[in-house]
Amino acid sequence: MLNKARRRKLGAHVAFVEHDIRHPWPVPDRAADVIVSNLVLEHISDLEPVFAAAARAQKPQGWLYLSELHPYRQLGGRGARFERAGRRVDVETHLHTVSDYVSGARAHGYELAWMQEAAEATTAAPEDVLPRLLIVVFRKAS
């Protein structure tokens, strides 16, 4: 995916870095206006080092946007998966509750700004009524 993204030649102001976010991030302190994480944290067992790294990299008053598969979905047996050579491959996932995200971020100086539990809700099927995504937006206090 990084190679595909690099081929788009988005300009000299855009840099792509491959990094394991469980370890200290190669980003200067207080550099980030906005941090976005989409469907990544369900693959991380311990969120604490990630919130610590985000808080260090984040500018005061900066935004942290998290979008994750809702824990209801995970409890219902829906996890990340893909197909390789016609075979289903399940990816390792870890269950985090809504309060794991909220308390974890607040412990590192973030304030909860907004939250949405988004359902697909196109049919009455139980799996569509339950929220598919949990979206949580935080603001760094200082």
Closer of 22 and 56 to ligand SAM (Cβ): 22
Q: What is the closest distance, in whole angstroms, from the C-beta atom of residue 124 to ligand SAM in the complex?
A: 27
Q: Which of residues 67-86 bind ligand SAM (CB under 6 A)?
A: 80
CB 74 within 8 A of CB 100: no
Among positions 22-61, residues that touch ligand SAM (CB under 6 A) are 22, 38-40, 43-44
Taking the least distance from each CB to ligand SAM, the nearer of 68 and 138 is 68
Contact 49, 109 (CB under 8 A): no
- In the complex, what is the shortest distance from the CB of residue 23 to ligand SAM, in angstroms, rounded to a whole number? 8
b/e map of 89-98 (b: 16 or more CB within 10 Å)? eeeebeebee
Looking from the CA of 47 toward its CB, the CA atoms found within 13 Å total 23
Residues 108, 140: Cα–Cα separation, whole Å: 9
| Residue 137 is a binding residue for ligand SAM (CB under 6 A) | no
Query: Which residues form the interface with ligand SAM (CB under 6 A)?
Result: 20-22, 38-40, 43-44, 80
